[in-house]
Chains A and B, each alone.
Chain A
Amino acid sequence: MKLKLSESDSFMLAGESGPAVQMAMSILVRMSEIQGAEHLLSIVSSHIDSALYIGDSTLDYAERLVDLGAKVCVPTTLNVAGVDHHGWDRWAVPAEWAHKARRQMLAYKAMECKPTWTCAPYQTEERPSFGDQIAWGESSAVVFANSVLGARSERYPDLLDICAAITGRVPAIGLHLAENRAGQVLVRLKAISWDLLDSDEFYPVLGHQIGKLAGSRVVVLDAVGVNPSEDQLKALGAAMASSGSVALFHWVGLTPEASTIQDAFKGKAPEETIDVSLSDLAEARNDLSSCTSDRLDMVVLGSPHFSLNELKALVPLIEGRHCDSKVRFLVTTGRGVKLLAEEIGLLEVLLEFGAEITVDTCILTTPMLSSEIRSLMTNSAKYAYYAPGLLDREVVFGSTEACVESAVSGKIIKDDGLWVV
């Protein structure tokens, strides 16, 4: 079927809404043809990953759009940027990088995007509602919006998300359409202890394992009676979207499109059933650690960006204690969450422990680590997945508790208790 444009789409493509809209629409139309869309549909909001500075080309692209007069036409939030503008000089970020990354941030602000600068925009007021058609970038945010909120987004790549926000239109394909939201892969948990199911450490590991096996398919988790928190679902999704490209999962009895297993599969049969055992998970957890010694230079928490609840949960672990002087303890979060933490006195507790806070970005998206920082520990599967390649650093994955104990003692302390087969 050939792509059929509406009258207003055709006007935009012809340049009648200005050159920026024309450029955005021409990219969208070419992509719609490549993807086999029959028409475009309207979105109500967008979340933009394109503001992340990668190099001159991403800056050129942003400034080209601004020069052409681009403005977003739907409420639009911004993902992490390439620099923490107010704190980069405490780290190893080169000045030229900071300057160019800042220019790229300003370009997206000039397009009237909201300066949320977080990979967890659902932790701000800008939270989509059930059934909303949206165009979101950031793999971990897309899977959250689709799965936990029941909003409808494809995985929008950098460079395309902004075209959707400028035109308010997207190709009508994939997860925008109800028929493509049915489950494809059934995941069952085999003999996993309640202690493990209750722990925060379980969800990123489960997500890492599922992502490897499910690829880009829609996952259904059948574990009725297990009710993970929003932060646990966030960690689960982010891990699935790192080792794989899962953009939608249903948790039977919990997420909004899965009141029953039949509902989650829309009456169809699963293509594949994956049974996940403790030994599979113990192995997946090992994948997330590359470090063989107990040397620790830095603990880093917050990918996706820490929520207020995750910050609150740190308090009993760190209050009255001190991070070892040789170890840096970093929490990455959004500027909105940092502000809330400050208001309720949380920030003080963190700073007294010796923690540092970075907002607007994270260790993966700004070159902030000095060469002396060789060995990291994290509770995030996403940090653990990408750090060895992207940062060329050793990494150990562990629970938040193990991360804090390690930071206090100055060396990596692993706690494998819950994972012994």
Chain B
Amino acid sequence: MGRINRNRKEEVDSVTENVLRGQSVISGSANGRLVVSREPLSFWGGYDLESGEIIDRQHHLSGKVVKDCILAVPGTKGSSTTTAVLLEAMQRGNAPLAIITSGVDSFLALALVVAEEMYRKSIPLVALKPAEYAELPSGHEISVEEDGRITWIQPNR
């Protein structure tokens, strides 16, 4: 992780800009609050395409609404209908703002490729290496850039 110290005039105002360089699988930019899942998720039976709630009752994020957030999920699991659920959520405007995965997840990528093909719209999908994924700051406001960079700013103490 690259830490760029942006020291302002006074010590108390200094912030650290954190950068993770991911692989842009589906290019795009987004800003929003990050929700990090530690476990894979099946979107079918796991993501409510109306509310954007995580509905897999065995998942640690069960009950959390992530549609207006950037969702980090290590990957998908379970059902092959995950792609159709994400496509439908996209079409209804109920998908997360962007998705970050640990390694490339072909199910999520496919849903977004088809969304582009069908509706000329998509959301960014960025793949990180597992070690970088572990550094993601759940709950922070982050930015996803078109080149796959993920950045966030933390005030120094």
- Are A55 and B80 within 8 A (Cβ)? no
A215 interface contact, C-beta 8 A: yes
The CA of A390 and the CA of B55, in the complex, are separated in Å by 7
Interface residues as binary, A233-269 with B (CB distance below 8 Å gives 1, 0 otherwise): 0000000011111000000000000000000000000
B85 touches A54 (CB 8 A): yes
The A-contacting residues of B in range 70-92, CB under 8 angstroms, are 75-85, 87-88, 90-92
Q: Are A55 and B91 in contact (CB under 8 A)?
A: yes
- Return the contact of B118 from the options A52, A60, A160 (Cβ within 8 A): A60
- Across the interface, B46 reaches (CB within 8 A) one of A52, A57, A215, A389, namely A389
Number of A-B contacts (CB under 8 A): 119
**What chain B residues lie within 8 Å of A216 (beta carbons)?**
75, 77
Residues of chain A contacted by B90 (CB below 8 angstroms): 57
Task: Identify B40's interface contact among A157, A215, A290, CB under 8 A.
Answer: A215
Tell me if B80 and A31 are in contact (CB < 8 A): no
CB distance from A236 to the nearest CB of B (A): 15
CA distance A63 to B57 in the complex (A): 34
- Say whether, besides A27-B113, A35-B106, A55-B88, A159 and B49 are in contact (CB < 8 Å): no
Decide: B104 and A30 in contact? CB cutoff 8 A.
Answer: no
Closest Cβ neighbor of B55 among chain A residues? A389
Chain B positions 40 through 52: 1 when the CB is less than 8 Å from some CB of chain A, otherwise 0: 1010111001000
Is B40 within 8 A of A57, CB to CB? no
Query: Could you tell me if B80 and A137 are in contact, using CB atoms closer than 8 angstroms?
Result: yes
Query: A50 to B84, Cβ gap below 8 A?
Result: yes
Q: Which residues of B contact A242 (CB under 8 A)?
A: 42, 78-79
Chain A residues with CB below 8 A from B30, complex form: none
A156 within 8 A of B: yes
Report A199-225 CB contacts with B as 1/0, cut-off 8 Å.
000000000000000011000000000
B-chain residues with CB within 8 Å of residue A390 when the two chains form the complex = 44-45, 55
Residue of A nearest to B62 (CB): A389
Q: Which residues of A are found within 8 Å of B119, using beta-carbon distances? A: 57
Knowing A52-B84, A55-B91, A60-B118 are in contact, say whether A30-B113 is a contact too (CB < 8 A): yes
**Given known contacts A58-B88, A245-B76, is B114 in contact with A27 (CB within 8 Å)?**
yes
A95 interface hit (Cβ, 8 Å): no
In the complex, whether A379 has a CB less than 8 A from a CB of chain B is no
Chain B residues with Cβ below 8 Å from A142 are 80
Residue of A nearest to B125 (CB): A34
Q: Is A155 an interface residue (CB 8 A)?
A: yes
B100 within 8 A of A: no
Q: Judging by beta carbons under 8 Å apart, are B88 and A159 in contact?
A: no
Q: Is the interface of A mostly helix, strand, loop or mixed?
A: helix
Q: Is the CB of A155 within 8 A of B80?
A: yes
CB atoms of B45 and A160 under 8 A apart: no
Given the known interface contacts A58-B88, A390-B45, the answer about A159 and B111 at a Cβ–Cβ threshold of 8 Å is yes
Q: Is A75 an interface residue when CB atoms closer than 8 A count as contact?
A: no
Contact of A54 among B62, B78, B84, B113 (CB under 8 A): B84
* Docked CA distance A378–B113 (Å): 37
User: Which of B84-128 touch A at CB < 8 Å?
Assistant: 84-85, 87-88, 90-92, 104, 106-107, 109-111, 113-114, 117-119
B56 contacts partner chain A, Cβ-Cβ < 8 Å:
yes
Query: Is the CB of A66 closer than 8 A to any CB of chain B?
Result: no
A158 at the interface (CB under 8 A from B): yes
Known contacts A57-B91, A160-B110; is-contact A389 B79 (Cβ 8 Å): no
Whole-angstrom CA separation of A302 from B113 in the bound complex: 34
- With A158-B84, A245-B78 as known contacts, state yes or no: A56 contacts B106, CB within 8 Å: no
Report the nearest A residue to B57, measured CB to CB: A388
Residues 25-76 of B contacting A (Cβ, < 8 Å):
25, 40, 42, 44-46, 49, 55-58, 62, 75-76
Min C-beta distance of A20 to chain B, whole Å: 12
Question: Interface of B with A (CB < 8 Å)?
Answer: 25, 40, 42, 44-46, 49, 55-58, 62, 75-85, 87-88, 90-92, 104, 106-107, 109-111, 113-114, 117-119
Nearest 5 CB-CB pairings of A with B? A389-B55, A55-B88, A157-B83, A57-B91, A388-B57
